[in-house]
């Protein structure tokens, strides 16, 4: 195996990953492990690892850590490895990477790779998904310690507050051609959102296309119906859900609406999405 640098996020899984350090150390033997010290540090540490000649950088954490490592790779030809130590690990799930640390490390040692597309919003790369509206608003309203203490309940409470108000209208222009309106947009590279929920049923990681789901309504009743639709794999047939595939899209609104990428807050509207086909090489089972 080429020289790998493992970037470990002790704050993943609501700080529970910290307890896995010794197990990680034992599993990876004398491979290099670097521990992140603050949010954003995985990106800086990845850039350093590349300068030092590492050809494989392994994100040991959740989707946020993978996102930072990918942004640190910054278009270089180095390969991404994943040890899924986060809460949900949607991208690892999408790639079929085992959740058990020792098995995920075996996958990295075998070193089989695959090329996947890399979407961007502005200059920021993301691996799995982005959201404009509801989910990003919820992140603005839940502090990390409430998330850590109350888990999914903190999201639910924030959502109740938000759904009582009218959400701004989003104008989504696809491939510079047609514009559609809605109040909540999800953009995906793979099929899953937030777990094994197939919000983007036609998505492929290597088709050169972004998948989008634009929801027209945003009140408690509509959201409950959308959730049911996703679980029953019928939401793309709803008349108030617009499902599409695109090479690029822009989102505009009367007032700034927050945006999240791979589960972390990142800016607000207006924003533009694009995708680079087969830009990322990643180790897979
Ligand atoms: N040393 C650190 N102290 C505090 N936060 C950190 C540190 N290192 C990284 N972070 C931040 O931890 C956050 C959560 O990381 P990550 O997404 O990997 O885990 P997760 O939320 O448990 O997983 P998932 O997104 O898959 O559910 C990221 O925003 C990252 O920037």
CA 261 to chain centre: 6
Element housing 150 (H / E)? helix 144-150
- The minimum-distance atom of ligand 1 relative to the CA of 64 is 17
Domain residue spans of the chain: 4-111, 129-278
Q: Hey, is 245 helix, strand or coil?
A: strand
Residue 95: per-residue pLDDT:
97
Q: Rg (Cα) of the chain, in Å, rounded? A: 19
Q: Each residue of 55-105: pLDDT tens digit?
A: 999 999 999 999 999 999 988 889 999 999 998 899 999 999 999 999 999
Q: Return d(Cα 115, Cα 43) in angstroms, integer.
A: 20
Confidence of residue 270 (pLDDT cuts 50, 70, 90): very high
CA 105 to chain centre: 21
Q: Each residue of 191-245: pLDDT tens digit?
A: 999 888 899 999 999 999 999 999 999 888 888 899 899 989 999 999 999 999 9
Confidence of residue 261 (pLDDT cuts 50, 70, 90): very high
Confidence of residue 1 (pLDDT cuts 50, 70, 90): low
Tokens read off for 53: 């000649």
How far apart are the CA of 145 and the centre of ligand 1, in A?
A: 12
Please calculate the CA angle 248-251-256 and round it to the nearest 5 degrees. 150
The percentage of residues in the chain with a pLDDT greater than 70, rounded to a whole number, is: 92
Q: Hey, is 112 helix, strand or coil?
A: coil
Q: Label residue 22 left, alpha or beta by phi (over 0 means left) and psi (-120 to 50 means alpha).
A: alpha
86 CB-near residues (< 8 Å, 6+ apart)? 9, 12, 13, 17, 61, 62, 63, 64, 65
Q: Return d(Cα 46, Cα 59) in angstroms, integer.
A: 9
15 CB-near residues (< 8 Å, 6+ apart)? 148
Ligand 1, pocket-test mutation among 15, 37, 39, most atoms within 8 A of CB? 39
The CATH architecture assigned to 4-111 reads 3-Layer(aba) Sandwich (3.40)
CATH of 129-278, one of 3.50.50.60, 3.30.2130.10, 3.40.50.720, 2.60.200.40: 2.60.200.40
How far apart are the CA of 64 and the centre of ligand 1, in A?
A: 5
Pocket of ligand 1 contains residue 64 by CB under 6 Å: yes
Q: Residue 35: name the closest of 43, 45, 26 by CA.
A: 45
Tokens read off for 18: 């910290």
Q: Helices 152-163 and 220-231: crossing angle, nearest 10°?
A: 130
Backbone angles phi, psi at 34, to 5 degrees: -120, 135
How far apart are the CA of 61 and the centre of ligand 1, in A?
A: 7
Q: Each residue of 141-200: pLDDT tens digit?
A: 777 666 666 565 666 666 666 776 778 999 999 999 999 999 999 999 999 998 888 999
- Atom 28 (ligand 1) nearest CA: 64
Ligand 1, pocket-test mutation among 8, 12, 36, 85, most atoms within 8 A of CB? 12
What does the mean pLDDT of the chain come to?
A: 91
Q: Is the pLDDT of residue 260 over 60?
A: yes
For residues 172, 233, 115, 214, the Cα torsion angle rounded to the nearest 10 degrees is 10
């Amino acid at each position: 195996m080429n020289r790998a640098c493992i970037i470990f996020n002790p704050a993943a899984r609501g700080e529970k990953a910290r307890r896995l350090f010794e197990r990680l150390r034992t599993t990876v033997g004398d491979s290099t492990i670097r521990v992140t010290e603050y949010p954003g540090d995985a990106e800086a540490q990845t850039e350093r690892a590349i300068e030092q000649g590492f050809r494989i950088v392994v994100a040991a954490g959740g989707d946020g850590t993978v996102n930072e490592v990918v942004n640190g790779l910054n278009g270089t030809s180095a390969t991404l490895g994943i040890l899924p130590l986060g809460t949900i690990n949607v991208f690892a799930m999408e790639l079929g990477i085992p959740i058990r640390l020792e098995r995920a490390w075996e996958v990295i040692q075998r070193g089989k790779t695959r090329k996947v597309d890399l979407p961007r919003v502005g200059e920021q790369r993301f691996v799995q998904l982005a959201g404009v509206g509801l989910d990003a608003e919820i992140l603005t309203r839940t502090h990390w310690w409430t998330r850590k203490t109350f888990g999914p309940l903190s999201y639910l409470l924030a959502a109740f507050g938000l759904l009582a108000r009218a959400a701004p209208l989003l104008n989504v222009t696809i491939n510079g051609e047609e514009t559609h309106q809605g109040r909540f947009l999800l953009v995906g590279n793979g099929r899953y959102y937030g777990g094994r929920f197939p919000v983007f049923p036609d998505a492929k990681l290597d088709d050169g296309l972004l998948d989008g789901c634009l929801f027209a309504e945003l009140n408690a009743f509509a959201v409950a119906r959308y959730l049911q639709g996703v679980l029953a794999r019928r939401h793309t047939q709803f008349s108030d859900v617009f499902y599409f595939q695109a090479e690029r899209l822009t989102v505009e609104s009367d007032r700034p609406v927050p945006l999240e990428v791979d589960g972390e807050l990142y800016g607000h509207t207006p924003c533009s999405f694009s995708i680079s086909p087969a830009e990322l090489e990643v180790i897979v089972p």
